[in-house]
């Protein structure tokens, strides 16, 4: 009989377990882990993976709500332009949660990112390394360059707004300043309309839950969506999987693939939010009244 060797847990899995224990043991206020997101991010998601440069416009639909994203451009050094591409994956989601949290905390549209890239990595809950540094540079450029339009239609009305994330930004990190500070501080000054919306309609999230699920953009989307919906949920509600696929940043081959990934993301989220109650029924996700991941005392202070 062959000797049995137990499979060792990866460092990533061990980190998740430590975070889950911390989340279960103490309230987010005690852990200094209360952050904020905005209802727009709960209603529609950015791409999960790179949709490529050939796509003219990224669109997500949630009932009467539509979000469209178009990539920005920069000089190509030869007298022309090149596309920056679409922001995608977990990094722009982490950045947007950080920006919302800082806007609510400071009540200022000018968000300081730090004097080094390592400072900013720590601010969004990541450990810096050379691979992540390149990815963060790219995703910040894509996010800050993108044009985002939000529209809401009913039978008698059409409302909408065009937004860039920032009115002004300065990212001064060179390769030499990934860990060592530079002489000036990098910052983002939020679009004024976006800033006003962020501070008027945030909802609370647990930043350590976000950190625990950060490798899955689907899980982040589900966490934001469910955190927003749970505050208003008083009876079981079924949401067709097809509707979830339309609203989230899902560019999957078919609905079955999306559904499988959704199931994996829900199991990951449940690890950190055990009081989240749901049932997966044929073709739908049934949400049940649940305790929010951040105590509902924040509901009155930050109405949604």
pLDDT of residue 75: 84
Mean pLDDT of 84-102: 94
Band of the pLDDT at 6, cuts 50, 70, 90?
low
CB atoms within 10 A of CB 101: 23
pLDDT tens sequence across 115-142: 778 888 888 888 777 778 888 889 999 9
Q: pLDDT tens for residues 56-91? A: 899 998 888 888 999 998 888 888 889 999 999 999
Q: Measure the CA angle with vertex 126, ends 125 and 127; round to 5°.
A: 135
The percentage of the chain sitting over the pLDDT mark of 90, rounded to a whole number, equals 46
Collapsing DSSP to helix, strand or coil, 75 comes out as: strand
Cβ atoms of 189 and 127 closer than 8 Å: no
- Please classify residue 243 by burial: count the beta carbons closer than 10 Å to its beta carbon, then call 0-12 exposed, 13-18 middle and 19+ buried: middle
- Is pLDDT at 251 greater than 70 in this prediction? yes
The torsion angle over the Cα atoms of residues 290, 295, 301 and 302, rounded to 10 degrees, is -50
Band of residue 4 on the pLDDT scale cut at 50, 70, 90: low
Residue 9 has what DSSP assignment? P
Environment class of residue 37 by beta-carbon count within 10 Å: exposed (0-12), middle (13-18) or buried (19+)?
buried
The residue extents of the domains of the chain are 16-301
DSSP string, 79-91: SSEEE-----SHH
In the numeric block, the tokens 């049940």 are attached to 288
301: exposed, middle or buried (Cβ count in 10 Å: 0-12, 13-18, 19+)? exposed
Give whole-number Cα distances, 104 to 95, 97, 200, 201, 223, in Å: 14, 11, 9, 10, 19
Give burial (CB, 10 Å; 0-12/13-18/19+) of 279: exposed
């Amino acid at each position: 009989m062959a000797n049995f060797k137990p499979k060792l847990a990866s460092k990533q899995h061990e980190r998740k377990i430590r975070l889950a224990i911390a989340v279960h043991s103490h309230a987010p206020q005690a852990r200094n882990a209360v952050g904020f997101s905005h209802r727009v991010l709960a209603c529609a998601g950015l791409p999960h993976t790179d949709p490529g440069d050939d796509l003219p416009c990224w669109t997500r639909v949630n009932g009467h709500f539509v979000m469209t994203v178009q990539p920005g451009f920069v000089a190509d050094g030869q007298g022309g332009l090149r596309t920056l591409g679409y922001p995608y994956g977990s990094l722009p989601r982490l950045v947007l949660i950080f920006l919302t949290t800082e806007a609510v905390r400071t009540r200022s549209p000018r968000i300081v990112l730090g004097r080094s890239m390592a400072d900013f990595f720590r601010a969004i809950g990541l450990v810096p390394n050379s691979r992540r540094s390149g990815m963060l540079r790219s995703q910040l450029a894509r996010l800050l360059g993108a044009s985002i339009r939000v529209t809401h239609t009913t039978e008698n009305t059409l409302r909408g707004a065009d937004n860039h994330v920032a009115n002004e930004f300065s990212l001064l990190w060179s390769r030499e300043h990934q860990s060592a500070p530079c002489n000036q501080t990098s910052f983002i000054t939020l679009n004024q309309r976006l800033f006003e919306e962020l501070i008027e309609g945030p909802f609370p999230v647990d930043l350590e839950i976000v950190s625990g699920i950060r490798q899955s953009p689907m899980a982040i989307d589900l966490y934001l969506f469910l955190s927003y919906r749970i505050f208003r949920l008083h009876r079981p509600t079924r949401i067709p999987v097809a509707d979830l696929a339309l609203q989230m940043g899902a560019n999957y081959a078919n609905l079955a693939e999306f559904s499988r990934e959704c199931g994996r993301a829900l199991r990951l989220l449940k690890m950190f939010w055990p009081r989240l109650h749901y049932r997966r029924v044929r073709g739908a996700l049934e949400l049940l009244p649940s305790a929010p991941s951040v105590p509902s005392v924040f509901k009155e202070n930050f109405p949604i």
